[in-house]
Amino acid sequence: MKNTLFFLILIFLITACQNVYQPAGTSERTDMTTGEISDSLRYPQEKYLANMRQLTFGGDNAEAYFSFDDTKITFQSNNPAWDLECDQIFYVELDKADMGRKLPQMISTGMGRTTCAFFMPGDTSILFASTHAGDHACPHVPPRREDGTYIWPIYEDYDIYVADLKGNIIDTLTREPGYDAEATVSPKGDKIVFTSMRTGDLELFTMNIDGSDVRQITHELGYDGGAFFSQDGSMIVFRASRPKTEEDIRVYKELLAIGQVMPTNMEIFVCNADGSDLRQVTNLGKANWAPYFHPSMEKIIFSSNHASDRGYQFNLYLINLDGTGLEQITFDSVFDAFPMFSFDGTKLIFSSNRHNGGTRDTNLFLADWVEE
């Protein structure tokens, strides 16, 4: 879960937010004005997905997560047709979603950069991280390293806020100096897990739903982030880097000192909600990230480029909690990530570059989840 997607860049501002966005390369696969369901949006091998629907139509749209009652989603977007310079947070009711023609409700302030929104219990408010209190402008995006390696910025101005569904900020949950972001809520509605730099490394913490009782739950050197609770709230799944060699440790610390991490080597881990019984699930190499628990809580869905000769090709996979039974779920030639199951377990939402007419657009797709 980050504020930018792998290997994607902003495209030029092409229209004002009040105008209709008509994406280039419109395909017969999708009715771009209605977003009607069409199984031509999925690839033939994608046996777990059916009745796929495209929800967004331009820019980078990611980290879409369901409300507790499964009727709404919140997500981040930098769609230039919505007059956005960098990621902002939105929400939409799924049965009224018409984002090919109509601007959804913005939840964030429109200032700074945002990331990682999630519904709060009751579905009347949404938490998200934002840099707006530090600077109203979009923060600088660092260039790639000289060796071409991709990096993520860790903006120290990020704090975690709660807004109502009209976009009014009603609470600030973190006030510590440095990075606080990547927050998600337990399905039990009692706890929040988030990533923070407050102890000098990127570790996972939990807190009560009101921001009280903050507790550190990971302690190893490396980036721990993108965490989610299991459906019963008893476990947490997350992505992590674990630099081991002297050179890897040196590079990690040097980048962290300037507010950056290198997300090219990450694996999936699980632990109990209090941090105990920490286990590494994947050992695939390359970048394994964006994990979420399968409704059975016996498997994890995640995004990975481990099987790709090209670093930017990511697909979704399922794996058992013990690391066995790896199975490919999507078969995109470019990028699939950020999967989340609906709370009733019947649907999957994710971000994808599929069918974007040759652009760099990353859109949201919603599909029925079909078990054999």
Banded model confidence at residue 113, pLDDT cuts 50, 70, 90 = very high
May I ask the CATH architecture of the domain 39-366? 6 Propeller (2.120)
pLDDT at 136 over 70: yes
d(CA 16, CA 99): 14
Banded model confidence at residue 37, pLDDT cuts 50, 70, 90 = low
Distance between start and end Cα atoms, the chain:
29
Question: What percent of the chain shows pLDDT beyond 90?
Answer: 84
Query: Where are the domains positioned within the chain?
Result: 39-366
pLDDT digits (tens, 9 = 90+) for 167-214: 999 999 999 999 999 999 999 999 999 999 999 999 999 999 999 999
Burial 51-82 (b: 16+ CB within 10 A, else e): ebbbbbbbbbbbbbbbbeebebbbbbbbbbbb
pLDDT digits (tens, 9 = 90+) for 346-365: 999 999 999 999 899 999 99
Question: Which whole number is the average pLDDT over 96-103?
Answer: 94
d(CA 25, CA 49): 24
35 or 355, higher pLDDT: 355
Question: Which whole number is the average pLDDT over 313-336?
Answer: 97
pLDDT at 165 over 90: yes
Amino acid making up residue 359? T
CA dihedral 252, 360, 147, 138 (to 10 degrees): -50
pLDDT at 36 over 80: no
Query: Which of 235, 239, 240, 263 is CA-nearest to residue 251?
Result: 263
Contact 65, 119 (CB under 8 A): yes
pLDDT at 22 over 70: no
- Which residue, chain included where needed, has tokens 């008509």? 22
Contact 205, 194 (CB under 8 A): yes
Question: Which whole number is the average pLDDT over 4-20?
Answer: 30
